[in-house]
Structure 1
Amino acid sequence: MDFEIRPVGPAEHDELGEITAQAYLRDGLLAFGDADWYLGELKDVAKRTAAADVLVAADSGRLLGGVTYVPSGGPMADLARSGEAEIRMLAVAHEARGRGVGQALVQACVDRATGSATGIVLSTQPSMRAAHRIYERLGFTRAPERDWHPLPEHPEFTLLTYELTL
């Protein structure tokens, strides 16, 4: 691995927020309801670091991507059950894709959860096929009974759930 995984620094919040927002925008992942609201959430790294662990992949000080790790019982959890940790907002800069950055970020979350959580869970959009492959390579399995609709006014927008028992 030619990059490191570490907690995001305060001076990097804006840069990671922009990487995350651009990854979602470029991949067409914000084509639902009030996407402007969620775009603001993606950019607000300071808010996330106050409630969860935000990790980055960096190469010589240049950010390649990031992920939000929500420990068991954390306030940012959307679907974690008691004892489960949750992964949110995984994003890799377009120019850094294909280097194993996404997989390394997810593995870092699994490593954090091991020993402190019974499992780890995450949501993903159906079109995020590259991410699905990462999750499956790391042992996550689909949990269709936990799929959900975060926007009640848009029942056609479904998030798929993956889980890993630790």
Structure 2
Amino acid sequence: MHLRRARPEDYEAIGAMTVAAYQPQLTDASSSYAEHLANAEARDRQAELWVAVGSDDHEVLGTVTICREGSPWREVAAADEGEFRMLAVAPQAQGQGVGEALVRHVVDRFREEGATAVVMSTNAHGTAPAQRLYQRLGFVRCPERDWSPMPGVELIVYRLDLA
């Protein structure tokens, strides 16, 4: 496995994999979110889309969207913080370190750029393995920043201090 920027030829596979990874979390209230998840091209155009691929450089194992200041994909970051969204790992690759590699990559990028912290939101009823990953990597809950983008969808915020 290696990480690289997404390419246009990856968009369809990234979109499908992201929807598949999020499918267990999608509720009636958030089902329209699947279209948002599938739009890898927009994420790459308006933010920075990274992909973890297999040794053949084509099999999409995971993805993450890096949201810098000014990106319409930013939701909870302050001006001096980095943010990432839509961390997704292909169902068949879960538990193999793909998500961790992607999060570490995001953290390293923002550390190099001088951000004071990295923040992200996750579904309050999301997967326990993802929340354990964030905690293991040093992210801490910021309940004062929790929010709801729509009725029936509760998001919790994690933050990693880089100072």
TM-score for both structures, normalised by structure 1: 0.90
Corresponding position of 1:165: 161
Question: Greater strand share, 1 or 2?
Answer: 2
2:55 equivalent to 1:64: no
Letter of the aligned partner of 2:153 in structure 1? F
- Overall identity of the aligned pairs, in %: 39
- Aligned CA RMSD, in angstroms, stands at 1.2
Q: Secondary structure at the match of 1:104?
A: helix
What is the letter of the counterpart of residue 18 of structure 1? Answer: A
How many equivalent pairs are there? 158
Q: TM-score, normalised by structure 2?
A: 0.92
Q: Does 1:41 align with 2:36?
A: yes
- SS of the equivalent of 1:77 reads coil
The structure 1 residue matched to 2:111, chosen from 101, 111, 114, is 114
1:19 corresponding residue in structure 2: 17
Partners of 1:72 and 1:138 in 2: CA distance: 23
Deviation at residue 115 of structure 1 after TM alignment: 3.1
2:3 corresponds to which letter in structure 1?
I
The one-character-per-residue Cα deviations of 1:72-105 (angstroms, maximum 9, x if unpaired) are 3432101111111111001101111111000101
Stretches of structure 2 lacking an aligned partner (at least 5 in a row):
none
Match in the other structure for 1:136: 135
The aligned amino acid for 1:133 is R
Structure 1 segments of 4+ aligned residues over 4 angstroms from their partners? none
